């Protein structure tokens, strides 16, 4: 049994082809720019939802997360099977941090592979290696976040050290797994000349090359979630980055030899 908070169908930015993305609840990080803050707490909960009918406003309670078995989740995933097959897509497990529910994740990945579905795990990398290692036989692709290279800054902006994340990435590559890096581009945090240069140096020093880098621009569209779920929004006044700035980072990474995309 696992706890999920969303299933996104027809996703085109979470790995190759058309995919169904499952969002598992719970994350050990607390990134200040998180676009899915409702996914950080591990347990299912409820949140007030305001509904307007004519000139009247009603507040109802809406579930944020629910429990599901791997078998029932598979029934959901099979619904888009034809689109996955025709497009070279598959299933992506995201979150939150999917490896926080390692047993449920591994069980569901194994069921997907039994039905020949392509699988991707979108991870912060902050997980016990044993939990990650258990998923390896059933995971075709890892979408792996690299945020801030300076450990003190990483702690400040995400709440945890980046050491385990960096070590696990090297282990994945040593195990011969396919990895794409996901780099959130957050003004003044990850998007600084120092951090981009340090990321490039880190990538070059890895034991094997990653397949490419996806730049994920910060956007303020999650602001409504912070107010709806009554969570403090540290980046309330943060503006999205102009396209030119993103293109400049893309160019810098490409000049260093890394296939780079804006978005997933």
- Report, in Å, the least distance between residue 85 CB and ligand SF4: 29
| Cα–Cα distance measured from residue 208 to residue 210, given in angstroms and rounded to the nearest whole number | 7
Q: Is 110 left (phi over 0), alpha (psi -120 to 50) or beta?
A: alpha
The nearer residue to ligand SF4, 33 or 258, going by C-beta atoms, is 33
Tell me the site size for ligand SF4, rule CB under 6 A: 12
Residue 109 belongs to what H/E stretch? helix 102-114
The minimum distance between CB 158 and ligand SF4, in angstroms, equals 6
Q: Can you read off the two tokens belonging to residue 81?
A: 């099977």
Q: Which of 6/80 has CB closer to ligand SF4?
A: 6
Classify each residue of 148-162 as buried b or exposed e, where b means 16 or more C-beta atoms within 10 Å of its C-beta: bbeeebbeebbebeb
Q: Supply angle C-alpha 141, 203, 146, rounded to 5.
A: 65
Residue whose C-alpha is closest to residue 160's, from 48, 23, 32, 15: 32
What is the footprint of ligand SF4 within residues 75-134 (CB under 6 A)? Answer: 95-97, 124
Which x/- pattern, by CB under 6 A, does the window 123-142 give for ligand SF4? Answer: -x------------------
Shortest gap between Cβ of 78 and ligand SF4 (angstroms)? 26
Q: How far is the CB of 174 from ligand SF4 (least distance, A)?
A: 23
Task: Give the residue with the Cβ less far from ligand SF4, 189 or 210.
Answer: 189
> Is position 217 an interface residue for ligand SF4 (rule: CB under 6 A)?
no
Q: Does residue 164 bind ligand SF4 (CB under 6 A)?
A: no
162, 130 Cβ separation under 8 angstroms = no
Helices (H), 117-216: 129-135, 151-158, 163-174, 193-204
User: Which of 34, 146, 169, 215 is in the footprint of ligand SF4 by CB under 6 A?
Assistant: 34
Cβ 95 to ligand SF4, closest distance in Å? 5
* SS3 assignment, position 128: coil
Is residue 216 a contact point for ligand SF4 (CB under 6 A)? Answer: no
Q: Establish if 39 lies at the interface with ligand SF4 (CB under 6 A).
A: yes
For ligand SF4, the closer CB: 27 or 117:
27
31 contributes a contact to ligand SF4 by CB under 6 A: yes
Angle at 58 between CA 53 and CA 59, to 5 degrees: 140
27 forms part of the interface with ligand SF4 (CB under 6 A): yes
Question: Is residue 30 at the binding interface for ligand SF4, with CB under 6 A as the rule?
Answer: yes
Q: Would you put residue 258 in left (φ > 0), alpha (ψ -120 to 50) or beta?
A: beta
Contact 235, 33 (CB under 8 A): yes
Q: Enumerate binding residues for ligand SF4 (CB under 6 A).
A: 27, 29-31, 34, 36, 39-40, 95-97, 124
């Amino acid at each position: 049994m696992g706890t999920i908070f969303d299933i996104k169908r027809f996703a085109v930015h979470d790995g190759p082809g058309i995919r169904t993305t499952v969002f598992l609840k719970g994350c050990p990080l607390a990134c200040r720019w998180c676009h899915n803050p409702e996914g950080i707490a591990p347990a299912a909960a409820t949140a007030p939802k305001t509904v307007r009918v004519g000139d009247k406003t009603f507040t109802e309670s809406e579930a944020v997360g629910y429990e599901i078995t791997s078998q029932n989740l598979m029934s959901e995933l099979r619904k888009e099977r034809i689109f996955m097959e025709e497009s070279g897509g598959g299933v992506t497990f995201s979150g939150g941090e999917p490896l926080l529910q390692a047993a449920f994740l591994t069980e569901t990945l194994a069921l997907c592979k039994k039905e020949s579905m392509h699988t991707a795990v979108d991870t912060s990398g902050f997980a016990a290696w044993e939990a990650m290692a258990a998923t390896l036989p059933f995971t075709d692709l890892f979408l792996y976040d690299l945020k801030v290279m300076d450990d003190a800054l990483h702690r400040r902006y995400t709440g945890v050290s980046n050491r385990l994340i960096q070590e696990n990435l090297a282990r994945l590559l040593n195990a011969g797994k396919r990895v794409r890096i996901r780099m959130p581009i957050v003004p003044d945090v990850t998007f600084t000349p120092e951090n981009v240069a340090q990321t490039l140096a880190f990538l070059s020093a890895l034991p094997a090359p990653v397949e490419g880098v996806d730049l994920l621009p910060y956007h303020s569209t999650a602001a409504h979630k912070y107010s709806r779920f009554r969570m403090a929004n540290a980046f309330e006044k943060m503006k999205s980055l102009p396209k030119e700035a993103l293109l400049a980072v893309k160019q810098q990474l490409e000049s260093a030899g890394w296939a780079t995309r804006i978005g997933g």
